[in-house]
Amino acid sequence: MSGDEIHILGLEMPVRIGVPEAERAAWQTVSADITVTLACAFDKMHDELSDTLDYERAANEATALAASRPRQLLETLAADLVGHFLQDERVRAVEVLLRKRILPHTDAVAVRMRRERPGTR
């Protein structure tokens, strides 16, 4: 199995997220780093897009999913994104790091979630 990874870094996604209803009412921006580990090694791909992850499509799908409904927790959004990417049979594992600027005197609050497809170890 491959350990080769694709990274989508600093993806800015519009979201409605936060515990207070007033916070969810306004659109905010969450930054995402998405790391996808593929089942197929890069050197086995034969230069075919069908063997890998389409970066633009993946970024667009993540952005659409993030904007699709209000959520209270970053943790919920991370789980939704991880679950989405693991539906692709070419994906062996996925890690999502989400950053939200919310607390004063900090750069951001962040959550990270990593999951592997069952039976891939």
Q: Could you give the CA distance from residue 2 to residue 97 in angstroms, rounded to a whole number?
A: 22
Residue 32 CB coordination number (10 Å): 22
| 5-19, 30-44, 64-78, range with the lowest pLDDT | 30-44
Q: Could you give the CA distance from residue 18 to residue 91 in angstroms, rounded to a whole number?
A: 30
Please say if the pLDDT value at position 99 is more than 70.
Answer: yes
What is the pairing mode between strands 5-15 and 91-100? unpaired
- Give the CATH number of domain 5-116; options: 3.30.1130.10, 3.40.50.980, 3.30.43.10, 3.40.50.10860: 3.30.1130.10
Q: If pLDDT is split at 50, 70 and 90, which confidence band does 87 have? A: very high
Tens digits of residue pLDDT in 29-68: 999 999 999 988 888 888 888 888 899 999 999 999 999 9
Average pLDDT estimate for 66-93: 97
User: Annotated catalytic residue: which of 18, 32, 100, 113?
Assistant: 100
Q: Is 44 a catalytic residue?
A: no
Domain boundaries, the chain: 5-116
111 in Cβ contact with 74 (< 8 Å)? yes
Measured in whole angstroms, the distance separating CA 96 from the mean position of its chain's CA atoms is 4
